[in-house]
Homo-oligomer: A and B are copies of this chain.
Amino acid sequence: GLGRFGVLYVDNAATETTLESRFRLVVTATAESDNGLSFGAQIRYQSNEHRSSYTGGGAGFNTPRFWVSTQGFTVSVGQVLGAIENMPGMYTGSVGLTGLGYANVVYNFAADAYTSGGAGAQGLDVLWSSGNWGVHFSYSWTGQGNTQTDDRVAAHVSYSMGNWNFALGGQDSNIAGDTSWAATVGGTWGNFDGTLQYADNDGNAKWGIAGNYQAGASTFVRGYINTDDAINDENYGLGFQHRMGGGTFLEGGIASLAGNTRADLGLRFSF
């Protein structure tokens, strides 16, 4: 799990500066059959700033995910991971303690995505990896407790070659605004890694570049800039992470989402 706390500033919000905190407890259960099948199940409890799990408190355990894996092949049932969400390089450029709105993510969350803080979508994922190749297929459909108005079928293929990574994903869905396809190209050069990100979100292109730079023994700088036809505007952000060892971090960042400024600063630790 993780704990984080700090201060968040959002320009023009009702309260611009707020105490920011998150507690996330990950409960993972596993078993292995005699023939080598790995079984697993996971639920996550998440409480954001001042949320309890008492009725109306706003915190809770998310919907479970179950899986069986063997030799690089995984079938997952329950809350969908999402093939577009999990493309390599999709989250490159996430800045600050909180992600500051995650405007760096070019598919704009217009596809199935796993969430610790809610229900997500119920369905299936099939994942396969072998050598330099990876394949991820995901499927959620109407009914089954899902409130979506159409089925979502998505897949991505990824390939790595030397210090380059390529991923291409597509989605079949008639939900308004949903991502049609997305692509990422990433590379690593010494202390720097960067990724070109592109998504076609129901006809609107969003594309940009994001990168990480290791500025010192334990200090990292991250940034992104992109343009989104859906809002006819740009987003950009810059953040740093200082690793204090033992899974503890000092993080902060500043971002501009279509001209609106956000900033944060705080401590985070993993457990």
Interface stretch, picked from A37-45, A100-108, A185-193, is A37-45
B56 touches A55 (CB 8 A): yes
A262–B206 alpha-carbon span in the complex (Å)? 48
A49 touches B267 (CB 8 A): no
A78 contacts the other chain (CB 8 A): yes
A39 touches B119 (CB 8 A): no
B55 touches A63 (CB 8 A): no
B23 touches A43 (CB 8 A): yes
Given contacts A23-B41, A47-B43, A271-B31, contact A55 B58 (CB under 8 A): yes
Given contacts A3-B29, A21-B78, contact A61 B45 (CB under 8 A): yes
A39 touches B118 (CB 8 A): no
Contacts of A21-37 to chain B: CB distance below 8 A: 21, 23, 25, 27, 29-35, 37
Tell me what chain A mostly uses at the interface: helix, strand, loop, or mixed.
Answer: strand
A216 contacts the other chain (CB 8 A): no
Interface stretch, picked from A174-182, A228-236, A239-247, is A239-247
B21 touches A66 (CB 8 A): yes
Contacts of A81-96 to chain B: CB distance below 8 A: none
A53 contacts the other chain (CB 8 A): yes
Given contacts A43-B23, A77-B21, A143-B15, contact A50 B269 (CB under 8 A): no
B41 touches A118 (CB 8 A): no
A33 touches B245 (CB 8 A): yes
A261 contacts the other chain (CB 8 A): no
Question: A119's contact among B27, B52, B123, by CB below 8 Å, is which?
Answer: B52
Question: A144's contact among B29, B49, B55, by CB below 8 Å, is which?
Answer: B49
Closest 7 pairs (CB-CB, A-B)? A34-B245, A3-B41, A33-B244, A53-B60, A54-B60, A50-B145, A23-B64
The 9 listed contacts between A and B (C-beta, < 8 Å) are A19-B122, A19-B123, A29-B271, A31-B247, A33-B245, A34-B244, A35-B245, A41-B271, A59-B63
